[in-house]
Amino acid sequence: DETGKGQYDHFMLKEIHTQPTSLRKTIEGRVDLDSGSTDLDIESDLSEVETVHLVGCGTSYHAALFAACLLNRCGLSARAIRASEYDLTAGTPSNNTLFVAVTQSGETADTLSALRRANDVGLDTLAVTNVVQSTVAREADEPLYIRAGPEIGVAATKTFSSQAAMLTLLSQHLARVNQYASRVNNIEALLSDLTDLPDAVEGVLQSSNATRLAEKYLDENAYFFIGRGLGCSVAKEGALKFKEITYEHAEGFASGELKHGPLALVTDRTPVFAVCADDSSKTVTNAKEAQTRGAPIIAVSTSDHSIVDTADDHLSIPDMHPVCSNLLANVQLQLLSYYCATELGRAIDKPRNLAKSVTVE
Ligand code: G6P
């Protein structure tokens, strides 16, 4: 039943657990493993695109950040821009800029307003959205539906995973058709791991120790989340989810930025969640800097990552292509937020002061 909570106490928990299914729907028919390519049915000619603007709010902005990082690796100049800042920070986009609106609801006023500006100046526009025939879907040149099914919980969970998966496919479509882009080195591994991602999410959901860690780290002053590259967007999304539903102070930083300010806030009452979903060791160094100041470190990493030797606790993820490992790290952080919020007796599905879709600028 798509509309009820089923066996779950909250829609959010149901939606977290629905991710294997929603991700399968996102990917279905869009990956051809034999030829190592994507099939997105995009009509727009994107061969001349030089710059990509990925624009969204909240969780959708974090999916945009994730995708910008991936597109940059393919050689395209891509920027994630907060929709509410688009007027002020996008400059005068050149004609060969592709505008991608990222929005679950397709109705967010800030995102719609940025899209209208992009349409006015004649950019190619795509909408990565969940809601069929939403305003953004209708006003963009082409909608790319993430097919995640209805999301009721105000805090977005399954739609972030599906947006990131869809944008990963879009990045590889662009890399194939675009004269300035190249595909990621290990495209076959990426596409094959993406196909396996739903099962891997299932595994993480079944084996996660997030409940225990939520109880252990319940009564702290603040919660910090750090990561680099793709992991930075996951850290920011982890912190957003945490603050939205627990009402605790949480911030997500680029690992390397910790020492440029946030470290002043670090004490033994500020757990630091370190997303290490690739083999980079720099986050380990940054986490140690916080640990020296007393902060407990919780690694979100594969079991054999060097950060595990340093960390006080561990949320484990399987070793896959970094795109997938980072999305699995995000699932662990969704569970952590959910269980902390339930321990605190929060209103999980309808956090105070927040709305699922914000239709004013
Ligand atoms: C609101 C919701 C967030 C969501 C954001 C963007 O602030 O509370 O969960 O991420 O809007 O929504 P959209 O529908 O554009 O993805």
pLDDT, tens digit (0-9, with 9 covering 90-100), for 161-206: 999 999 999 999 998 899 888 877 778 889 999 999 999 999 999 9
Residue 180 φ then ψ, to 5°: -95, -10
Query: Rounded to the nearest whole angstrom, what is the distance from the C-alpha of residue 358 to the centroid of ligand 1?
Result: 7
Comparing CA positions, the residue from 332, 331, 329, 292 lying closest to residue 312 is 292
Residue 275 φ then ψ, to 5°: -85, 115
Query: Where residue 1 falls among pLDDT bands split at 50, 70, 90?
Result: low
The identity of residue 44, as a single letter, is S
Query: Rounded to the nearest whole angstrom, what is the distance from the C-alpha of residue 178 to the centroid of ligand 1?
Result: 30
| Atom of ligand 1 lying closest to residue 108 CA | 15
Question: Which pLDDT belongs to residue 92?
Answer: 86
- Interface confidence (ipTM) of the complex: 0.98
Three-state SS for 8-68 is CCCHHHHHHHCHHHHHHHHHCCCEECCCCEECCCCCCCCCCCCEEEEEECHHHHHHHHHHH
| End-to-end CA separation in angstroms for the chain | 34
Query: Rounded to the nearest whole angstrom, what is the distance from the C-alpha of residue 230 to the centroid of ligand 1?
Result: 20
pLDDT tens-digit series, residues 200-248: 999 999 999 999 999 999 989 999 999 999 999 999 999 999 999 999 9
The identity of residue 143, as a single letter, is P
Q: Is the CB of 358 under 6 A from ligand 1?
A: yes
| Atom of ligand 1 lying closest to residue 59 CA | 10
Question: Which pLDDT belongs to residue 162?
Answer: 98
Comparing CA positions, the residue from 270, 265, 261 lying closest to residue 242 is 270
Q: Is the CB of 218 under 6 A from ligand 1?
A: no
| Atom of ligand 1 lying closest to residue 57 CA | 6
- Which residue owns the Cα nearest ligand 1 atom 15? 103
Name, in order, each residue with C-beta under 8 angstroms of 2's C-beta and a sequence gap of 6 or more.
149, 150
Indicate the pTM of the whole model: 0.97
Query: Rounded to the nearest whole angstrom, what is the distance from the C-alpha of residue 12 to the centroid of ligand 1?
Result: 14
